[in-house]
Amino acid sequence: MRTLQVELGERSYPIYIGAGILDSIGELCAKHGISKKSPHLIVTDDKVGPHYLDSVVSRLKSEGYHVLTHVVPSGESSKSLDVYEQVMTTAIQAKLDRSSAVFALGGGVVGDLAGFVAATYMRGITFVQIPTTILAHDSSVGGKVAVNHPLAKNMIGAFHQPVMVLYDVDTLKSLPAREVSSGLAEMVKHGLILDKDFAYWCCENGHKLLALDAETLIHGLERGCAIKADVVSKDEREGGLRAILNLGHTIGHAIEAVGGYGRFLHGEAIAIGMAGSAMLAERLGRDESLYGETIRMLKAVNLPVQLPQDVSIDQIMDAMQHDKKFTEGQMVFIVPEAIGSVSIVKDVPVEAVRSVVEQLKGEG
């Protein structure tokens, strides 16, 4: 088992990564001072639950913990105020108290939802993350928790750090292949923004990552989490630097929105967005090899790098306007400077972005 510490002063916490480490959940909870007197709530979804919920519950019970469960439907639609209220109802009925903990057993959806419950139940109780997707190596670090409003994603949320993250790579074996690639998009992103060697490592080891080779995954997740943790510990509340984590996300969020949050997975959308950012970088005079190298890395983990023909460029541009990053014909963009380095450019001409989106459809 590897341990990676996220340094956030008194809110610092460890990420435990390894194969089979869920077997030790009881001891780890005891180590972190989780009460054996108070009830705890495990939140999961209906695709993850059937695989892992029983074993997590029985491990905790055998260690003397009192646990209840709440299973939500799988998918982004569970990040809603309705579902939030239902989980809150379970928490209140179960008489969770100030010493109780909420456990998120699942991907980013369950993590964000359960985290927001933990952040707000009695003004904040203990939160434990048990990520079960590759994407969640990103979402489980940094403490951003939220539900969606029908008008905008992640609009209702908080910063609430977990007391520990328990990342058992064995749980990734049941992930559908598309979800594996989607999660690897964030791993590649972490290399592209801050660590050239890691970006190339992901590319060279793409086939092993896709095959869920345990050693390779553990290394990739550990390095990915470490890069994110490093950024977050320097800028916990997104005053500036943390924005670099949004590489590919301005175009990516627009692609997700235009696809109705179902057609494209998050990682697929940001992969196309990262390809677009690399094109934009070249247009802004950065190194000409950037685009070719970036798409090579994305393709190595089976990610798309082009927009399908039926996607409307006008709709993508409109959706980006909702991202509120436009002012007077210019927008803020995370622009690659080289593989492993990016900058925040505040005056990117909207026209340049439009022509990149056209090029992503093969029309540029």
Ligand X SMILES: NC(=O)c1ccc[n+]([C@@H]2O[C@H](COP(=O)([O-])OP(=O)(O)OC[C@H]3O[C@@H](n4cnc5c(N)ncnc54)[C@H](O)[C@@H]3O)[C@@H](O)[C@H]2O)c1
Q: For 326-362, b where at least 16 C-beta lie within 10 A, e where not — what string?
A: beeebbbbbbbeebbebeebeebebeebbbbbebbbe
User: Closest Cα partner for 105 from 118, 96, 114?
Assistant: 114
110/279 with CB nearer ligand X: 110
| Sign, Cα dihedral of 57, 58, 61, 63 | negative
Spell out, one character per residue from 138 to 177, where the chain touches ligand X: x when CB under 6 A holds, - when not: xx--x-x---------x----------------xx-xx--
Q: Is 189 in the site for ligand X (CB under 6 A)?
A: no
Residue 182 Cβ, how far from ligand X at the closest point, in Å?
Answer: 6
Asked if 48 is part of the footprint of ligand X (rule: CB under 6 A), the reply reads yes
> Is there binding between residue 334 and ligand X (CB under 6 A)?
no
Of 14 and 279, which has the nearer Cβ to ligand X? 14
Q: Contact 333/274 with Cβ under 8 angstroms?
A: no
Yes or no: say if 70 and 86 are a contact pair by the CB < 8 Å rule: yes
184 lies in the binding site for ligand X (CB under 6 A): no
* 287, amino acid identity: D
Q: Has 7 been annotated as catalytic?
A: no
One symbol per residue from 65 to 84: x for binding ligand X (CB under 6 A), - otherwise; what is it? ---------xxx--x-----
- Specify whether 219 is catalytic: no
Catalytic (active site) residue 238? yes
Q: Does the protein bind ligand X through residue 125 (CB under 6 A)?
A: no
Nearest residue relative to ligand X (C-beta)? 108
Per-residue CA distances from 338 to 84, 92, 168, 267, 275 (Å):
41, 51, 33, 21, 13
- The answer for residues whose C-beta is within 8 angstroms of residue 49's C-beta and 6 or more apart is 69, 71, 105
The distance of closest approach from Cβ of residue 258 to ligand X in the complex, given in angstroms and rounded to an integer, is 16
Find, among 34, 177, 172, 20, the residue nearest to 106 by Cα.
172
C-beta of 342 vs 348, nearer to ligand X:
342
- For ligand X, the closer CB: 176 or 292: 176
Q: Which is nearer to ligand X, 232 or 300 (CB)?
A: 232
Among 15, 43, 72, 135, binds ligand X (CB under 6 A): 135
Complete DSSP assignment for 309-360: TTS-HHHHHHHHHHTT-EETTEEEEEEEEETTEEEEEEEEEHHHHHHHHHHH
Which spans of this chain sit near ligand X (rule: CB under 6 A)? 45, 47-48, 51, 74-76, 79, 106-110, 112, 132-133, 135-136, 138-139, 142, 144, 154, 171-172, 174-175, 179, 182, 266
- The set of catalytic residues is 123, 144, 186, 228, 238, 242, 246, 249, 253, 266
